[in-house]
Amino acid sequence: MTEKSKASQANRPPLTDDEIRNLSIDDLLRIKLSDEEKARRRQFNLEREQRIKERSVRLNVEQSALLADLREVGWNVENVWDIATTRYRYPEAIPVLLKHLILPYSDRTREGIARALAVKEPEAIKAWPLIVEEYRKAPSGWGPIGPGETQEFWLGTKSALAATLAVLVTKDTMPELVELAKDKSLGSSRILLLSALRKSKSELAKQTIDELRNDPDVETEIRSWKR
């Protein structure tokens, strides 16, 4: 360790546990950790990896009925996220995903189902009203994301459903997507709707983007397009 690094450690108080847990890559490049702080960070990383493994086991149990239904239509996967991230088409799985979308799963499972529905398959496009309804109902903010958990993280289902709607929107459903994009009660998840407005050549989409330029939840995203 250089004299400069030793001095930088001496000139600051020890990092708290929360500060160490939340260190970003940029933070690690900027801050020189003491040996004790490095040891705590390693321990926190090990604990985090263990929590992820345990969550994976609980998710597989939670998704057992969903995975059984997917096997019935030819998709033998270990987790719904395997469907959401595959590069192959899966039109036969869409009805199964829609059936399970409305069931009371944990946020992590519902987010995976929602992302798996973000494909331009006829069955998914026809389910627009159902997906809109689930989007409106989905909670936002912080909460437990896995079954049997108490620790809170940022919930992902609402944003995933918004992203799915942006993929599934058609000329006929664009007016409803515009209404959703303007609905401030839906919060920052509306950012995920903007891609459909940006791609659209319709005057309605262009007008909506102009109207949203000063909306605090989405203005930063819209302004970033110019850059």
What pLDDT does residue 37 have?
87
Binned at pLDDT 50, 70 and 90, residue 22 comes out as confident
Q: In DSSP terms, which residues pair with 153 in a beta bridge?
A: 143
CB 152 within 8 A of CB 142: yes
> What is the predicted pLDDT for the residue at 10?
54
Half-sphere exposure of 202 (CA within 13 A, CB side): 15
Q: Quick one: how far is CA 49 from the chain centroid?
A: 20
Question: Model's pTM, two decimal places?
Answer: 0.80
| Contacts of 43 by beta carbon, 8 Å cutoff, 6+ apart | none
Domain ranges of the chain: 59-156, 169-227
Give the length of the chain: 227
Q: In whole angstroms, give the CA distance from residue 43 to residue 130.
A: 44
pLDDT band at 4 (very low <50, low <70, confident <90, very high): very low
In percent, how much of the chain has pLDDT > 90? 71
